[in-house]
Every structure is written in C-alpha cells, then in structure tokens.
C-alpha cells in the first residue's frame, strides 16, 4: 500500500478545517452527574447482591444440606426395613 503526496495534502487540509472543540462546563457537569449516579446505583446493587449472597450462604445452603441428609436417612431406613423384613 503506497501513499501519494496528493492524498496526504488533501487529508491534512481536511484536518486543518475541522473546528477546535472546546469542552463545555455544562456538558462536563452533566457527564459527572451521570457518572456519580451510575456509581451510586452500582454500589446499591452490589450491596443487594452481597445481602442475597449472605442469605444463600447462611440459610439456603444449610437448609439444602439438611434436606439432602433427611432424604438420605429416609432412604437408608427404607432399605434397612426392606432388607430385614420388618
């Protein structure tokens, strides 16, 4: 791929004619406010997720383990009764 001098001159001319962008204070404030709102929303969401995670670890997991143990024990009793014919 080769470059020709005419193409570079034309491109430089277009770049020079672009207006210089000046940051607007109002737009910058709006962007900051949106970012702060997003960060706060993410903090609240992570607190909710942490609360659900604690609920899962402290209530659901032990209840599930207890349920599986009860199912296993009931099956063990059933097998024992069938084996010894009581």
pTM: 0.44
32 assigned to some structural domain: yes
Q: What confidence tens digit (pLDDT) does each residue in 4-32 have?
A: 555 566 677 777 887 877 778 898 999 99
Length of the chain: 86
Residue 2 within any structural domain of the chain: no
54-70 average pLDDT score: 91
In a domain, 73, yes or no: yes
Tell me the residue range of the domain where 71 lies: 23-84
Can you list the alpha helix ranges (DSSP code H) found in the chain?
A: 5-17, 25-55, 61-84
CB atoms within 10 A of CB 24: 10
Domains in the chain: how many in total? 1
């Amino acid at each position: 791929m080769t470059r020709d001098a005419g193409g570079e001159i034309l491109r430089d001319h277009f770049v020079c004619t672009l207006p210089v962008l000046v940051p607007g204070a109002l737009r910058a404030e709006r962007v900051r406010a949106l970012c702060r709102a997003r960060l706060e929303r993410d903090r609240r969401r992570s607190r909710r997720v942490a609360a659900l995670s604690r609920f899962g670890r402290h209530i659901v997991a032990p209840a599930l383990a207890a349920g599986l143990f009860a199912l296993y024990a009931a099956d063990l009793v059933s097998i024992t009764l069938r084996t010894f014919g009581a």
